[in-house]
Structure 1
Amino acid sequence: MKTDFKFSNLLGTVYCRGNLLFSPDGTHLFSPVGNRVTVFNLVDNKSYTLPFAHRKNVSRIGLTPQGNLLLSVDEDGQAILTSVPRRVVLYHFSFRASVTALSFSPSGRHFAVGLGRKIEVWHVPSTPDSNTEGDLEFAPFVRHHQHAQHFDDVRHIEWSSDSRFFLSASKDLTARIWSLNAEEGFTPTVLSGHRQGVVGAWFSKDQETIYTVSKDGAVFDWKYTSNPNDADEMQDEDEDMRWRIVNRHYFMQNSATLRCAAFHPESNLLVAGFSNGLFGLYEMPDFNMIHTLSISQNEIDFVTINKSGEWLAFGASKLGQLLVWEWQSESYILKQQGHFDSMNALEYAPDGQRIVTTADDGKIKVWDVESGFCIVTFTEHTSGVTACEFAKKGSVLFTASLDGSVRAWDLIRYRNFRTFTAAERLSFSCLAVDPSGEVVAAGSVDSFDIHIWSVQTGQLLDRLSGHEGPVSSLAFAPNGGLLVSGSWDRTARIWSIFDRTQTSEPLQLQSDILDIAFRPDSLQIAISTIDGQLSFWAVSEAEQVSGVDGRRDVSGGRKITDRRTAANVSGTKSFSTIRYSTDGSCLLAGGNSKYICLYSVTTMVLVKKFTVSVNLSLSGTQEFLNSRLLTEAGPAGLLDEQGEASDLEDRIDRSLPGSKRGDPSARRRMAEVRVNGVAFSPNGTAFCAASTEGLLIYSLDSTVQFDPFDLNMEITPASTLAVLQQEKDYLKALVMAFRLNEAGLIQRVFQAIPYTDIGLVVENFPTVYVSRLLRYVAAQTEQSPHVEFCLLWIKALVDKHGAWLSANRSKVDVELRVVARAVSKMRDEIRRLADENVYMVDYLLSQANEKQSPALLLTSDAAVLKALPSSDTKGLSMDDLMEDKAAESEGEWIGLE
C-alpha cells in the first residue's frame, strides 16, 4: 500500500474571519479559512485549498489586478506571496505589525497596507508575467513610503481608477485622501464629519465624488466645490475650493449597526451589511433602496462585489457562513455553511464520492469530495450527533445522537425514513450497522446494554447485557457474522447475535476501551485503550496476536492551560479513533493531539506521522509555551478582554451562564486541536480526518494538473507539424494538437504515430488531457477503418492510466461510456460478419488445394464484397478487388486505407 499521502483539500469550513476577494474575471472567490485560503470556483462549482499554511489565522488577503499573485497576511503580520496559477509560495515577508487593511492598486504596481494607525505603500514584486518595465527577475518587497497621520486603526483602503490617489477610512471618525507620488497642487486631505468610525470610503467612477460610510449608518457625499453660502460674495473661488459634504443619507436600521459596506463605481451600487444579519442594496447618488434581505442570524462581517457588479459575496464568521448573491435575479449562486461546533464523526459513502460529517450542533452534513461543497444538511436531531455509518449496499445512512434516537436517512431522496428509540431515555454514543443493512445496534454511556433494532420494522429486537460499564464502541464484522463491543469496564465482547443462543466472549484488556475497528477480511480486530495501547486480536481464537505502544507517537503539543510539559501530559497519550485501510495492511489512528499516526499491521511499526495543524491560534500545536504570555491572571490567550472593547456592542456579553455547547453567542478562543474521526476512502487513495479546523483530505494524487503549454504563445499548426515530422516527438506534437483543438490537425498527428510507440506516448501523456484523448479515440473507433490501431490506443490508455480513471470516475464517466459503446459496436459488427461468412470460409478452405476457374473466382470475390461492411467497400469496384486478389497471389498484401 502506498503511504505518500499529502494534504489536498479542506472541507467542512468555508469562512472564518477576514476579507473576501473575487478574482478579476469574477468567477472565483477567495476565502480565508483558519490559517489557509480556500478558492471557490463559482462557474464549475468546485473548490480547492491552497497548499500553504500560515502560523496563525489569516486576517487579510489581497489579489493583484491580473489575478496571478495572492498576498495573504496572518494576525501577526506575517505575509505569504503565492502564485495563483501554479499554487506555489514565492516569498515570505513580515510587516512586523497587525494588518488591518490591504489593497492593490489597479495598475498592479503598488499595494497599500494599514498597520494599525499607519499606512504603508509597497512596490509589488515583479514577475515575468506581470508586464512590468525593467528587470523581470523576482525582487523582494520594497517600501515606497508611509503615512502616520491617523489617530486610530485604519479599516479600509481604496484606490482611484488611475492609481494616482487612494482613500483611507479609520476608526478615528475620519477618511483621508493620499497621493501615490507627489502631485502638483495636491496636499493630503482630511474628510471629517462622521460621529462614529468610518467603515469605508470610495471614489465614484468619474472621481468627482467620494462616498464615506460610518458605523452609525450615515452615508456622506463629498464633492470638490466652493462654499455655496458664499456664492454671492466676490472672492477668489480657487482659494475656497475644497472637499465638502453635499448630501447626507442614513440607513435607519433601528438598533442595528453597520458592520461592512462595499461600493461598485461602474453601476453606482452601494451594499451594506448590518449586525442583525440584514443587508441592503442601494443606488447612488440618489440613495434609492433596491432591496433588503436577511441572510444570517448573526452580524455580517464582510461584503464584496465582483467586477461586473452582478454578484455579492457575504461572510458571517460566527456561524461560518459564506454566501454569493446575484441581486438582479435575486438568487443564490453559493450558499455554504460549516459546522458551528466541533465534528464528532465522519464516514465515506460506499462510492467514495461523498463524506458525511456529524457534530455537536445536531447537524449532519453531506460533502461532495470532487467539488468540496456541502450538498445537503439534515437538522432533525435535537442534540449533538455522535456517530454515523453507512449500510454497505444502497445509499442509506444511520446516525446516533444524544437526543436518544437513532435515525436512518435515504441519501437519494434526502429524507429521514426511520427513527429508532429505546424504552427509556438514553444518549447514544456509538453505532454499528450490519453489512446487509437489516440490523442496527447502538450503545450508550448511560446504560450498560446494547440495543438492537430491525431496520425494516423499526422495532427493538433485543438488548444485549453483559458489560459492567458504559459501552463506548461497536463494530460489525464486514462479513456480517459477529458484533464486537467495547466498554469502559476494560473488556471487549464478541457477540453472535444471529444465533439462537446469543453468547458473548469477553476479551480482557488493561484499560478502558475507546474505539474498535474490524479488518476488512473480518479475521482481526484492533482495539484502542485509554492508556495509549493498540492491541490486535484474532477473532477466531479470541486471543491477542500483537500490540503497539502508541503513547510516544501520539503525544505532542502543549495546551495553554497545561501545567506540565507536552511529554508528560496524560490527556494526549491515547487514540480516540482508529480505522483499517482498505486492504487491511495499515491502521490509521488519531486522538486529542495534533498528530495522526499510520501503522503497519504486519510489522507493527509507525509508517508515517501526519501533523494536523501548525496554527498557533489553536491550543495544543506548540511543544513549548512562551513564558512571556503567562500573566498573573493566567495565560494571556484565555483572558477575557470583551469588557475593554472600544465599541459598545462589542462590550455586551450575550452568552448564557454555564453554556458551553450549542450557544451561538458563546465566546470561543484558543480551541484545542484534536482529531475526532478518521476514515479511508473505499479505493484507498485518500483518507479524511475530522479536526478542529475542519475536514482535512489527504490523498495520493494531490499534484496540480498544470499544462505547461498554457503559457506558450508559439504553438501553431506549423510548429506542431514541425515537431511531428522533423523532431519525431510524437508526445509533444499530440499535446500541442490538443492545445490548439483543431480536428484536422489532431487526426493528422494521431494517425502519424507508429503503433509501436503508442504505449510510450500514452504513458507520459499529461493527465489533464487524458479524458479528451479517451473521447477522441472512442470517436475514431466508431468512424475509422483502423480497427486494431484504435484498440491498441484504448488498451494503452486503460493500462497506463487505469488508476487515475478509477479515481476520477465521476470526471470521465461520459468518456468511458463512449468507449464501451464503441467497443461493443465493433464487437457486434465483427460477430455479425463472422456469422455471415462462416460457410464461405469453410468453402474457400475446402477449395484451397484446387485450381479455381475465373468464374468461380469472380463468384467468390462477389460474395466477399457483399459480406464486407459498407464502410470498408466505399469507393471500391470489382476490378479493384481483382487487382488485390492478384497482388495477394504474388505474395503482396495491400491494406484498406
Structure 2
Amino acid sequence: MKVGFNFSNLLGTVYCSGNLVFTPDGNSLLSPVGNKVTCFDLVNNKSFTFGFEHRKNIARIALSPQGTLLLSVDEDGRAILTNFVRRTVLHHFNFKSVVHDIKFSSDGTHFAVACGRKTEVWRTPAHDEERDFAPFIKHREYTGHHDAVTHIEWSGDSRFFMTSSKDLTARVWSLNPEQHFVPTTLASHREAIIGAWFSKDQEKIYTVSKDGALLQWEFTKKPGQDYDDDDEMDAEVEERWYVVKRSYFNQNSAKVKCATFHKESNLLVVGFSTGVFGLYELPEFNTIHTLSISQNGIDFVTINKTGEWLAFGASKLGQLLVWEWQSESYVIKQQGHYDAMNALTYSPDGNRIVTAADDGRIKVWDATSGFCIVTFTEHTAGVTAVQFSVRNLLFTASLDGSVRAWDLIRYRNFKTFTAPSRLQFSSLAVDSSGEIVCAGSLDSFDIHIWNVQTGQLLETLSGHDGPISSLSFAPDGSSLVSGSWDRTVRIWSIFTRTQTSEPLQQQADVLCVIHRPDSKQLTVSTLDGQLTFWEIENAEQVGHVDGKKDVSGGRKVTDRVTAANNAATKHFNTIAYSADGTCVLAGGNSMYVCLYDVASGSLIKKFTISRNLSLDGTQEFLNSKSLTEGGVKELFDDQGEASDLEDRIDRSLPGAKRGDLSERKARPEIRVTGLSFSPTGRSFACATTEGLMIYSLDNTMLFDPFDLDIDVTPDNTRYVLKEDKDYLKALVMSFRLNEKYLIHEVYESTPVEDIPLVVGGLPTVYLGRLLRFITLFMEDGPHLEFGLVWIESLFESHGKWIKENKAEVEAEMRRVVRCLKRVQNEVARLGDENGYTLNYLLSQPRPAPEGGEKGLKFIEDTNGESESEDVDMEGADDEWKGVSDSE
C-alpha cells in the first residue's frame, strides 16, 4: 500500500474571518479558512486549499493585479508571500504589528499595509530579477492617524492612496512626492470610517462611516458661499476637498460593518450588523437592492472586476455567499458546520463525504469539487454517528433519541427509528444488506436493533455492564461487534436462534471497534492508548500497538501538567482500516493522526493535522512569558479596553457569574473526531476542529522539475524543436521543466508520422507524466485523433512495462480510461445527432428552382451510378424537370 498521502483539500469550512478577494478575471474567490487559504472556482464549480499554513488565523489577504502573487498575513502580523499560479511559498516576513488591511497598487508595483496607526508602503517583489535577496523593500512610511487604520484604497493611476481610520478621519497620500500636492485630511464623520474610495475619474471621494453616513467629497470652492469677480484669485487658493452631499442608509439603528465600491459601475455595497446588505447607485444614491442574507452581521463584502458578482462573508455562522445582483440569484451559498464535527463517512463510490456535527446538521460534500451538496436539519440535537448502506441509503444516530434513514437520491428522510425509552444514541451500525440497523447509547447498557423496512424494534441485546461506546457490523454480515466501558468487546451472532455473544476482555475502557474489510479481523482502541488486533474466528489476540507516545498531543493553556504527562491525549477515539486492510489509521484528542501497519504493528507515518496557535493543544511547551500571577494572558478578558462602545458593553445578566452563555470565550481545542478511508484507497478524510481535511495520493501537477541542468531552458527547448527537429529531446526537456505550455507546444508540434518513434525512445520515467498530459490535452483541446495516435503508440511501445508496473501508473491509467469513455460517449452522441439531422434533411421536399436558371438533371446509368448534366430551366414555369431518385 502507498503511504505518501499529502494534504489535498479542506472541506467543511468556507470562511472564518478576514477579507475575501476575487481573482483579476473575476471567476475565482479567495477565502481565509483558519490559518489556510481556499480558492473557490465559481465557473468550474471546484475548490482547492493552499498547502501552506500560518502560525495563527489569517487576518488579511491580498492578490496582485496580475494574479501571480498572493500575500497573506495572520493575526500577529506574520506574512507569507506565495506564487498563486504554482501554489509555492516564496518568502516569509514579519510586519511586527497587527495588520488591519493590505492592498496592492493598481499597477502592482507596490503594496500598502495598515500596521496599527501607521501605513507602510513596500515594493512588490519582482519576478524578473535573477536573484532577489531582499524581496520586501520598504518604500516609505506614512504617519498621522491617531487611531488604527482600518482601510486602504489606491487610485486608478497608483500615484495616490487613501487611508481610513478609527479616529473619524480619512487621509489622502501620494506614493511619491508630487508637485503642489499636500496630504489631505477628510474629517466630517461622527463615528469611525469604514471605507473611503475614489471615483473612476478621481474627481470625487466617497466615505462611509459606522453610523450609516455616506459623504461625497469634491475638490472645489467652499460650498454655500458666493464669490465676486474680484475674489477670483482668492477663490482659486481656497479650492480644496469639501463635502458636497450627505446621505444616510437609515437601517433602524443597525451599524455598518463593511462596504465596498465599484468604480466602473458606480455601485456601492454596504453590509450591516443585522445581516442585511444594500446595493446603491452613486452619486444619485439610488437604492437598487436591500436583502437579508444572514442571521448575524456581515463581516466582509467585495465585488468582482465586472461588477456582476457580490461576495459576502459572515464569520459567526461560517457563511460564504456569492450573489449575482442583476439576475438576483446565488452563484454559491455555502456554510460549514458552526459546531464541532463528530463523525464522517465516504459514500460507496467515493464521490461524496457525509459529515455530522453537534449543531444537529448533516452535510453531504462533493469530494471532487469540495462544495456542499445538501444539508439535512431534521435532527434536533447533535448527530454522533453516520454510516452508509447499499442503494445510496444513509443512517444517522443523534442525541435527540432517534436514528434516521436518508435517501440520497431524493434527498429526504424516509424512516425514523426510536427506542421505547428516551435515550441519547452515540453509536451506530448497519448490516451489509441494509435491512438491519443497530444503535447503542451511553445512557443504557443495551443494543437496540430495528428492521429498516418496517421500522419496528426487533430486539434489545443485553450483556454489557457499562455504556456502549462503539458498534461495528462485519462487511459480510456474519456478526455484530460492540465495545463498552465495561472493558469488554462482545461478538454477537444476531442472525442465529441463540443470539449468543462472546466477550473479549480488554485492559481498559473500549473507545472504538472496527472490522477489517474481509471480516476476519477486529481492531479495538482502548483508553490506555492501546490498539489490539483480534482474530474473530478463534477469538484470540494476534497483535497490539502501544500508541500512547505516538498520539500524545500538545499542552493546553489551562493544563496543570505537561503534554508528556497528560493522559487526556494519550488514546485513540477513532480508527479506520485502509481499503486493502493492511493498515490502520488512528486519531484522538491531539493534532496527530497515526498510520500503523497491522502485520508488524509499526508506525508507518505520522500526520500533523494543524499547527495553528489560535487553537488549544498545538504547542508542546507553553511560553513562560504568557504566564502571570493572574493566570494565562490569552484568557484575560480585554473587552473593557476596546475602543468601540458596542465592544465594551457588558451584556451579561445581573448577578450572573459565568457571563453571557451565548458567547464562546474558551479557545477551541485541536482534536480528530472522525476518520475514513475512501473506497479506492487513494485518499482519506479526517474530521478535525478546523474542518474536514482530505489527504490524497493523487496530487495535481504543479511545478515539479527534476534532472535540471543549466542548458535546459524554454529557449533551448524551442530551438531543439524548431531548428534541430529533435522531437524526442524537446519532449524530454519540456518534461524536465514541467511547464504545461511548453509541453503543449512540443506535443502539438510533433508530426503524426514521428509519434511512434518519439514514444518508443521515451524513457519510462516520463511515461506517467506523458499519459497525464495526453488525457489533459484531449479533454481541453480539439485534436481528438491526434491524442488517440499518441495513446496507441504508447501502449504499443511500452505496454509490457505498464503491465508490469501498473501500480506506478494506476492513477494515470484511470484517467486514460475515463477520457476514452468520455470520447466514446461523445462520438456516439454526435453520430446519433448527425443521423437524425440527415434523416430530417432527406425527408424534406426538394425546392423548385427559379425560372431561367440551370439545374441538374440526375440520370441513373445502367450501373446504378448517378450522372449530372446541365439542363436549361428557362420557361419551366417553376416546375422541376429533373428525374427523381425513385425513377
Aligned pair partner of 1:502 in 499, 504, 513: 499
Are the equivalent residues in 2 in contact too, given 1:59–1:73 (CA < 8 A)?
yes
Q: What do the CA deviations read for 1:373-396 (whole angstroms, capped 9, x no partner)?
A: 1111111111100000111x3211
Cα separation, partners in 2 of 1:793 and 1:436, compared to 1, 3 Å = farther
Match of 1:112 in 2: 112
Deviations 1:870-896 (A, max 9, x none): xxxxxxxxxxxxxxxxxxxxxxxxxxx
| C-alpha spacing 1:319/1:155, structure 2 compared with 1 (3 Å) | same
Q: Take 1:190 and 1:127, find their aligned partners in 2: how far apart are those partners?
A: 36
> More deviation in 716-725 or 11-20?
716-725
Q: Deviations over 1:662-711 (max 9, x none)?
A: x99532442110000111111112111111011111112335345989x9
What residue in structure 1 maps to residue 545 of structure 2? 548
The match for 2:310 among 307, 312, 329 is 312
SS in 2 for 1:13: coil
Question: Kindly, what percent of the aligned residue pairs are identical?
Answer: 59
Q: Would you say 1:696 and 2:693 are equivalent positions?
A: yes
Matches within 5 A, 1:356-375: 356-375=354-373
Contact 1:593 1:675 in 2 (8 A): yes
On the 8 A contact 2:488/2:506 being kept in 1, the answer is: yes
TM-score of the pair, normalised by structure 1: 0.85
Tell me if structure 2 keeps the 8 A contact 1:724–1:733: no
CA contact (8 A) 1:723 1:733 kept: no
Query: CA distance change for structure 1 residues 161 and 381 in 2, over 3 Å: closer, same or farther?
Result: same
Instruction: Indicate yes or no: 2:786 matched with 1:765.
Output: no
Amino acid of the structure 1 residue aligned with 2:118: K
Residue 219 of structure 1 contacts residue 250 of structure 1 at CA under 8 Å; is this kept in 2? yes
Paired residues for 1:633-648 under 5 Å: 633-648=630-645
Cα distance, 1:773 vs structure 2: 5.0
Structure 2 CA distance for partners of 1:764 and 1:689, relative to 1, 3 Å: closer
Q: 1:28 to 1:628 in 2, by over 3 A?
A: same
Is 1:182 the counterpart of 2:185? The answer is no
**Structure 2: runs of 5 or more not aligned:** 707-711, 829-887
For 1:473 and 1:231, the matched residues in 2 are separated by: 85
- Any idea what SS the aligned residue of 2:573 has? strand
Q: 1:394 to 1:462 in 2, by over 3 A?
A: same
Distance 1:167 1:174 in 2: 11
Q: CA deviation at 1:772?
A: 3.6
> 2:284 maps to what in 1?
286
Checking the alignment, whether the CA contact within 8 Å between 1:586 and 1:601 is kept in structure 2 is yes
Contact residue 366 and residue 377 of structure 1 kept, 8 A: yes
Closer/same/farther in 2, CA of residues 696 and 807 from structure 1, 3 Å limit: farther
Paired residues for 1:798-813 under 5 Å: 799=803, 813=818
| Number of the residue aligned with 1:272 | 270
- 1:122-137 equivalence runs, <5 A: 122-128=122-128, 137=132
Distance 1:595 1:817 in 2: 41
Q: SS of the residue aligned with 1:388?
A: strand
Which amino acid in the other structure matches residue 274 of structure 1?
Answer: F
**Aligned with 1:816: secondary structure?**
helix
Contact in 1 for aligned 2:168/2:189 (Cα 8 Å)? yes
| RMSD value, Cα | 3.3
Report how far residue 139 of structure 1 moved: 3.4
2:482 aligned residue: 485
SS of the aligned residue for 2:774 comes to helix
Distance 1:135 1:758, change over 3 A: closer
**Residue 519 of structure 2, aligned match among 513, 519, 522:** 522
Larger mean Cα displacement after TM superposition, 213-222 or 404-413? 404-413
Q: CA deviation at 1:618?
A: 0.5
Q: Deviations over 1:435-477 (max 9, x none)?
A: 1111110000111110011111111111101111110000011
Counterpart residue number, 2:339: 341
DSSP-derived class of the 2:126 partner: coil
**Is residue 637–residue 670 contact of structure 1 (8 Å, CA) maintained in 2?**
no
CA 1:576–1:788: 2 relative to 1, 3 Å: closer
Q: Is the alpha carbon distance of 1:218 and 1:765 closer, same or farther for their aligned partners in structure 2, counting shifts above 3 Å? A: same
Match in the other structure for 2:859? none
Aligned position for 2:65: 65
Q: Does 753-762 or 208-217 show the bigger shift?
A: 753-762
Cα displacement (A) at 1:761: 6.3
Residue 780 of structure 1 deviates from its aligned partner by 4.0
Structure 1 residue aligned with 2:74: 74
Q: Is the 8 A contact 1:781 1:822 kept in 2?
A: no
**Letter matched to residue 238 of structure 2:** D
Which sits farther off after the overlay, 501-510 or 787-796? 787-796
Q: 2:135 aligns with which of 125, 140, 165?
A: 140
1:642 deviates by 3.1
Q: Deviations over 1:482-503 (max 9, x none)?
A: 0000011111110000001101
Q: CA deviation at 1:739?
A: 2.2
Give the Cα–Cα distance (whole angstroms) in 2 for the partners of residues 447 and 215 of structure 1: 54
Query: Is it true that 1:815 corresponds to 2:810 in the alignment?
Result: no
Which residue of 2 is the match for residue 227 of structure 1?
222
Query: Contact 2:217/2:241 (CA < 8 Å) preserved in 1?
Result: yes
Q: Is the 8 A contact 1:758 1:796 kept in 2?
A: no
Among candidates 568, 572, 581, match of residue 569 of structure 2: 572
State which drifts further: 596-605 or 268-277.
596-605
Q: Which AA in structure 1 matches 2:88?
A: V
Distance, in Å, in 2 between the alignment partners of 1:695 and 1:682 is 17
**Match of residue 621 from structure 1:** 618
Q: Distance in 2 between matches of 1:642 and 1:238?
A: 49
Whether contact under 8 Å (1:316, 1:322) holds in the other structure is yes
Matched, 1:259 2:257: yes
| Whole-Å separation in 2 of the counterparts to 1:633 and 1:741 | 68
Secondary structure, counterpart of 2:224 in structure 1? helix
CA contact (8 A) 1:707 1:768 kept: no
Aligned residues: 814
Q: Which moved more, 1:792-801 or 1:480-489?
A: 792-801
2:166 aligned residue (156, 166, 171): 171
Q: Secondary structure at the match of 1:739?
A: helix
Measure the CA separation in 1 of the matches of 2:788 and 2:343. Answer: 51
- Corresponding residue to 2:454 among 457, 472, 477: 457
**Residue 92 of structure 2 aligns to which amino acid in structure 1?**
H
TM-score of the superposition, structure 2-length normalised? 0.86
Q: What displacement does 1:321 show?
A: 0.6
What is the CA–CA distance in structure 2 between the aligned matches of 1:453 and 1:250, rounded to whole Å?
61
Per the TM alignment, residue 238 of structure 1 is displaced from its structure 2 partner at its CA by: 2.2
Separation in 2 of the partners of 1:242 and 1:754?
72
Change (3 A) 1:728 1:657: farther
Q: Aligned partner of 1:816: which letter?
A: K
Q: Is the 8 A contact 1:721 1:733 kept in 2?
A: no
Q: Distance in 2 between matches of 1:715 and 1:523?
A: 59
- Is the contact made by 2:728 and 2:758 (CA closer than 8 Å) also made in structure 1? no
Structure 1 gaps of 5+ residues are: 129-133, 824-897
- How far apart are the structure 2 equivalents of 1:60 and 1:202? 19
Question: Per-residue displacement from partner, 1:87-116 (whole Å, max 9, x unpaired)?
Answer: 111111100111011111111111111111
Q: Distance in 1 between matches of 2:571 and 2:155?
A: 57
Could you tell me which of 389, 392, 395 is aligned with 1:398? 395
Task: Say if 2:85 is the partner of 1:85.
Answer: yes
**Which sits farther off after the overlay, 283-292 or 626-635?**
626-635
Deviations 1:179-237 (A, max 9, x none): 11111111111100101000000000000000000000000000011113332344311
Letter in 1 for 2:240: R
Contact 1:99 1:115 in 2 (8 A): yes
Question: In structure 1, what is the equivalent of residue 54 of structure 2?
Answer: 54
CA shift, 1:291, in A, is: 0.6
CA contact (8 A) 2:82 2:90 kept: yes
Structure 1 window deviating more from structure 2 (410-419 vs 46-55): it is: 410-419
Residue 201 of structure 2 corresponds to which residue in structure 1?
Answer: 206
What residue is the counterpart of 1:585 in the other structure?
A: 582
Q: Is the 8 A contact 2:759 2:793 kept in 1?
A: no
Report if the CA contact (8 A) 2:768-2:809 is conserved.
Answer: no
